[in-house]
Structures are given as C-alpha cells and as structure tokens.
C-alpha cells in the first residue's frame, strides 16, 4: 500500500463479511458476518447510528432510538447514502434514485445514468458510479452528470466514499481499494488477500 488507510476504515469483503483496519498492528481484522448478516455495505447516519444493507437489499439499523429491520419503505436497495444534512438517499435495484422521509420519493433514472451507487462529499456534493463502472459528479444547477472517469485515471469502479478529512476513496472492479492522490487513483490493493465490495469510514473514529 502507498500508506496506511485511516484507522477508522471499515470494508465489506466480497463474501459479505466485515473487516476493519488496525493501524497499530498494520493489518486487517475480519469480524465475520456482522450481526449475522452478509452485507453489501454500511452507512453511518451519525456516529454510533449505522445502517447496514444486506445482500438481499434489506436494511437493519443499530444505535437508533427505534431500530429497524426489513425492506425500508418497501424498496429492495442496492445502495444507501446520507447527505451531510442527514437526508437519506437510496439506489434501487433498477438503478433508480430516491430520497426517504418515511416513504420513498422515486426520482427514477437520475440524470440519465443507471446507477450502482451514490455518495456525498463533505461539502454535500453528489457523486455517482454508473452500472458501467463510470464515475460522475452531479451538477445541481443544470441537473446533469460530469463524467470524470478518464480524468481520474480511467478506473472501472464499484463505489466511492469520502473520509471526513475530505479525501476520496474507491473500490475498483477488481475489488481493490484506491485513494485519489494528485488527481489520480493510487492503488491500495486488496484487503488481506480478499476482494472488497465497499469501504466506509466510522465517523466516531479518531483518524
């Protein structure tokens, strides 16, 4: 790896298990199937309140006043993401996008892209990975995607994520982790020899 990942790094492995990075030991620890679930990804609403998305597209919340388990709002989901404001967004299994306020507002195919996932940077900007693995940034003014795949080095992606320090991370189609450094993806490789589905940063972490 070019350098250690942040100590609050969590990844979902290709088999649906959860791993975290131990910066002191400089290795990854596998926690198995978290709460017994095979995972697609995790999303933190706030420190300590985590939404886990299972491989069946169902959601489980932990740490909230009222925890939930099931198909949130009746949707089978491929991805969930929180804006910095706390608003919950989702990507359905047909690549459609919606926001959740007790029920889903379905916006359909957002900006003409069928999506794998969306993410929000620390400034509230929206990013999306299309089903072809292409990366785009969303222009809220003209409501269109700007494809930055080639500009960032041409990687085909599974997903992107943002650390609280503003840095941008990704998982490539080969299950490897990358970090945007100098405008290009730097390859951080596999996790303990395993391919990765997704990466997330625990906001309660110290790094």
What was the pLDDT predicted at 5?
87
The whole-number pLDDT of residue 66 equals: 62
- Measured CA to CA, the distance from residue 93 to residue 108 in angstroms comes to 11
pLDDT in tens, 53-74: 999 999 998 876 666 788 999 9
Residue with tokens 């992107």: 160
CA distance 4 to 7: 8
DSSP helix/strand/coil, 73: helix
Using CA atoms of 178, 40, 121, 84 in order, give the dihedral in degrees to the nearest 10.
-150
Spelled out in words, what is the top-level CATH class assigned to the domain 9-201? mainly beta
**Spatial separation of the C-alpha atoms in residues 95 and 112, rounded to whole Å:** 10
pLDDT score at 18:
96
Q: Write down the pLDDT at residue 2.
A: 57
Q: Taking the domains of the chain in order of start, what are their residue ranges? A: 9-201
The answer to whether residues 48 and 56 touch, using CB atoms and an 8 Å cutoff, is no
- Beta carbons within 10 angstroms of residue 58's beta carbon: 18
6-23 tens-digit pLDDT: 888 999 999 999 999 988
State which residues of the chain have pLDDT below 70: 1-3, 64-67, 205-207
Confidence (pLDDT) at 206: 46
The whole-number pLDDT of residue 204 equals: 81
């Amino acid at each position: 790896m070019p350098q250690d990942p942040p100590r609050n790094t969590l990844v979902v492995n290709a088999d649906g298990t959860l791993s975290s990075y131990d910066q002191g030991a400089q290795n990854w620890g596998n926690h198995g199937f978290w709460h017994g679930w095979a995972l697609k990804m995790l999303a933190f609403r706030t420190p300590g309140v985590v939404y886990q998305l299972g491989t069946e597209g169902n959601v489980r919340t932990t740490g909230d006043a009222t925890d939930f388990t099931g198909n949130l709002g009746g949707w089978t989901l491929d991805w969930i993401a929180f804006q910095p404001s706390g608003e919950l967004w989702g990507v359905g299994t047909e690549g459609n996008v919606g926001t959740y306020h007790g029920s889903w507002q379905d916006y359909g195919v957002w900006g003409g892209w069928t999506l794998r996932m969306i993410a929000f940077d620390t400034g509230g900007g929206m990013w999306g990975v299309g089903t072809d693995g292409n990366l785009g940034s969303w222009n809220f003014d003209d409501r269109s995607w700007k494809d930055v795949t080639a500009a960032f080095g041409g990687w085909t992606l599974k997903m992107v994520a943002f650390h609280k320090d503003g840095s941008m991370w990704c998982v490539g189609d080969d299950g490897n982790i990358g970090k945007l450094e100098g405008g290009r993806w730097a390859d951080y490789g596999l996790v303990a020899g395993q391919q990765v589905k997704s990466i997330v940063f625990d906001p309660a972490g110290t790094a």
